[in-house]
A and B are shown apart, each in its own frame.
Chain A
């Protein structure tokens, strides 16, 4: 199965900063089937990005996904209080689907 490795484990940032999250796959992701989710305690995960760079409905354009092959990045500009959460990448192009281990964005 495809292993996704996310880094860093934790980002300590202030509101207004930019966050850059990395997701590296153990093999090429099939057909750009790479998504990013935001997860807050006690809530359901929320889809942010699909197909590497397409924003889900209602996601602002300061949230951007990029990458190809095995290296992918989620960038969040001008962090707002609601952005402090855990973020997961997921590949859904090859069964079994897999998630990365997550990156937590915490308030510095």
Chain B
């Protein structure tokens, strides 16, 4: 059974950089794409982007300019970096496996942007 676990700081200051890690266990990161999805408080799911095991990326148009998703296949991990965060980036961030649809998800991590 594939398991995904998000990790990283739960509090980030405005204008600083949000950095999250997703660790994949129970299966290899190879041969799949891997995604980040977020949910701001009281709102719906928002696609952030994906990375392939070879490093190909895709991003939401609204977040593309300040988002980077990368992968370290040797560690079975992938990463989210978002720069210049504001309160609007406060959300639960989920990582997920892209197997055409998103078939496995992490439990999510709440990231609050506040001074």
Which A positions have Cβ atoms within 8 angstroms of B?
1, 33, 35, 37, 39, 43-47, 50-51, 56, 86, 88, 90, 92, 95-102
List residues of B whose CB falls within 8 A of some A CB: 35, 37, 44-47, 49-50, 58-61, 94, 96, 98, 100-103, 105-108
User: Are A45 and B102 in contact, CB atoms less than 8 angstroms apart?
Assistant: yes
B44, B50, B103, B107 interface centre (most CB from chain A within 10 Å): B44
**Residue from A1, A43, A92 having most chain B Cβ neighbours under 10 A:** A92
Which residues of A have CB within 8 Å of B101? 33, 35, 47, 50-51, 56, 90, 92
Say whether, besides A43-B107, A96-B60, A50 and B47 are in contact (CB < 8 Å): no
A50 touches B100 (CB 8 A): yes
Q: Which residue of A lies closest to B47 (CB)?
A: A97
Q: Is the CB of B45 within 8 A of A1?
A: no
Chain B residue at minimum C-beta to C-beta distance from A48: B101
Taken together as a complex, chains A and B put the C-alpha atoms of A35 and B45 apart, in Å, by: 13
Known: A98-B47, A99-B47. 18 other contacts (CB 8 A): A33-B101, A35-B101, A37-B45, A39-B45, A44-B94, A44-B105, A45-B96, A47-B103, A56-B101, A88-B45, A92-B100, A97-B47, A97-B58, A99-B37, A99-B44, A99-B45, A99-B46, A102-B45
* Chain B residues whose C-beta falls within 8 Å of the C-beta of A56 in the assembled complex: 101, 103
Cα of A37 to Cα of B44 in the assembled complex, Å: 12
Taken together as a complex, chains A and B put the C-alpha atoms of A45 and B106 apart, in Å, by 9
**CB proximity of B88 to chain A, nearest CB, Å:** 17
B91 to chain A: closest CB distance in Å? Answer: 13
A11 smallest CB distance to B (angstroms): 15
CB-CB under 8 A from B103, the residues of chain A are: 47, 56
Establish whether residues B94 and A45, one from each chain, have CB atoms under 8 Å apart when the complex forms: yes
The residue that B44 contacts in the complex, of A33, A95, A102, with Cβ under 8 A, is A102
